[in-house]
């Protein structure tokens, strides 16, 4: 292997030093997956993350990575039906995105169906994913996200309606689920079978419960259980912090592909590592601080396009990403604060120019967890939610009433 590897990043060639401790080539491989008419050559998925996976970040990840699925952040169905401007902005895709993957969230089957109809009629996407995995209290207290599969009738009806609409346009539908609400109320077995029966082309399992939130380590054995039960592809999700984790998940569970969430925050090049790993290469990408700085500038430029030229909105959106990009680098609090005070592209470029261009990527954060390790102290659910596996008339009336959270951002 040469001393430097040259990687194409957002139209530019960036030289990066491969890790000297790269492991030998692996025998682990994953085969291409067909989701109906959508061919996924390397089934590696960028998981939808609120406030993160808009098209600028997806473009960066896709330019580094394999021909996988790079999914837009969750769109609330009611907001799309209401033509909320932010929802419509989040439905945009960059011209170069190979597969337009959109994720919908909702509780009311009628509203989710209407949202799917908009997606179909306006040719918004090539693939629709349904969110039944979000553990955030403001979602679960309305019976949505990872709380919803507990009500098997509601879960089935939403999938039925969306699949029926999307089938007309030959758009495949998939579902994202968790293990359950907690270990006394697991739902992933039934949910996986219902999704398969109702026409979903694949299921992604985040191997945690709602109660576990993002704490501890996800239990990959549950992914293996679902793989053994279903005929459709199962994608594994949870605690993939580096390429070797992706290899290990496939080897241990037999899953058809892997979904990457927090592991790529501030590290879009993780998809390059995973591409190399599944190709049998031990090459890994550890950019210098100067190279990371160039990615920050590129990200800011893309965000400016996303916000129709509004640099202030773009660099404010960039702030959380900058914190992730700089994680582990010895840049100091003053530099971090300066980035947080940027108001324009020129401000970002100025701060990037002042970074130590040759500072090596910090070994202590390589392939380590990203984001906050948070445990959910209490699962927030609608009153009486766990009393039955099906919804009552009264529950539906309460759930399907006006929900401002669904209609706005």
Strand 12-18 and strand 38-40: the pairing is: unpaired
Report the C-alpha gap between 186 and 306 in whole angstroms. Answer: 39
Distance CA 101, CA 176 (A): 13
The answer to whether 306 touches 92, Cβ cutoff 8 Å, is yes
Who's near 350: CB < 8 A, 6+ residues apart? Answer: none
Known active-site residue 134: yes
Report which DSSP code applies to 286: E
Rounded Cα distance, 308 and 57, in Å: 16
Q: Are 28 and 250 in contact (CB under 8 A)?
A: yes
**Vertex 193, ends 187 and 197: CA angle to 5°?**
140
Residue 221: enclosing H or E segment and its boundaries?
helix 220-229
CA–CA gap between residue 101 and residue 83 (Å, rounded) = 19
| Residue 200 CB neighbours (<10 A) | 25
Task: Check if the beta carbon of residue 256 is closer than 8 Å to that of residue 33.
Answer: yes
Phi, psi of 180 (to 5 degrees): 165, -170
**Continuous segment of H or E residues that includes residue 403:** none
Options 61, 91, 134, 264, the catalytic residue: 134
Pick the closest to residue 284 from 271, 298, 293, 295 (CA basis): 271
Q: 140 burial class (0-12, 13-18, 19+ CB within 10 angstroms)?
A: buried
- Measure the CA angle with vertex 319, ends 99 and 310; round to 5°: 70
- The Cα–Cα gap between 387 and 300 comes to 49
Which of these, 345, 289, 291, 349, lies nearest to 316 by C-alpha position? 345
- Of 217, 135, 241, 146, the closest CA to residue 188 belongs to 146
Q: Catalytic residues, which ones?
A: 134
């Amino acid at each position: 292997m040469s001393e430097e590897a040259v990687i194409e990043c957002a139209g530019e060639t960036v030289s990066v030093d491969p890790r000297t401790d790269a492991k030998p080539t692996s025998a682990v491989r994953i085969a291409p997956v067909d989701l109906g008419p959508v061919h996924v050559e390397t089934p590696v998925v960028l998981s939808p993350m609120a406030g993160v996976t808009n098209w600028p970040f997806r473009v960066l990840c896709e330019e580094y990575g394999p021909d996988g699925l790079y999914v837009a952040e969750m769109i609330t169905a009611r907001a799309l039906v209401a033509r909320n401007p932010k929802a419509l902005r989040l439905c945009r895709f960059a011209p170069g995105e190979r597969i337009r993957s959109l994720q919908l969230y909702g509780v009311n089957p009628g509203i989710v169906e209407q949202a799917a109809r908009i997606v179909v009629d306006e040719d918004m996407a090539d693939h629709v994913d349904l969110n039944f995995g979000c553990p955030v209290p403001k979602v679960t207290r309305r019976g949505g996200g990872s709380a919803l599969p507990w009500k098997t009738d509601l879960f089935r009806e939403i999938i039925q309606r969306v699949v029926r609409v999307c089938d007309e346009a030959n758009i495949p539908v998939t579902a994202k689920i968790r293990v359950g609400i907690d270990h006394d109320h697991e739902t992933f077995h039934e949910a996986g079978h219902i999704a398969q029966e109702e026409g979903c082309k694949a299921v992604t399992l985040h191997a945690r419960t709602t109660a576990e939130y993002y704490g501890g380590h996800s239990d990959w054995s549950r992914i293996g259980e679902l793989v053994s039960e279903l005929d459709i592809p199962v994608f594994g999700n949870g605690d993939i912090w580096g390429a070797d984790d992706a290899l290990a998940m496939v080897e241990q569970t037999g899953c058809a592909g892997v979904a990457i969430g927090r592991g790529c925050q501030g590290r879009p090049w993780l998809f390059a590592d995973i591409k190399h790993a599944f190709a049998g290469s031990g090459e890994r990408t550890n950019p210098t601080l100067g190279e990371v700085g160039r990615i920050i500038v590129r990200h800011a430029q893309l965000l400016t396009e996303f916000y129709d030229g509004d640099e202030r909105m773009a660099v404010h959106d960039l702030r959380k990403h900058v914190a992730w990009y700089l994680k582990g680098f010895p840049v100091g609090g003053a530099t971090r604060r300066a980035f947080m005070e940027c108001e324009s592209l020129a401000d970002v470029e100025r701060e990037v120019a002042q970074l130590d261009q040759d500072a090596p990527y910090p070994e202590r954060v390589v392939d380590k967890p990203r984001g906050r390790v948070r445990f959910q102290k209490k699962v927030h659910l609608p009153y009486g939610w766990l009393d039955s596996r099906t919804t009552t008339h009264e529950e539906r009336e309460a759930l399907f009433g006006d929900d401002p959270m669904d209609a706005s951002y």
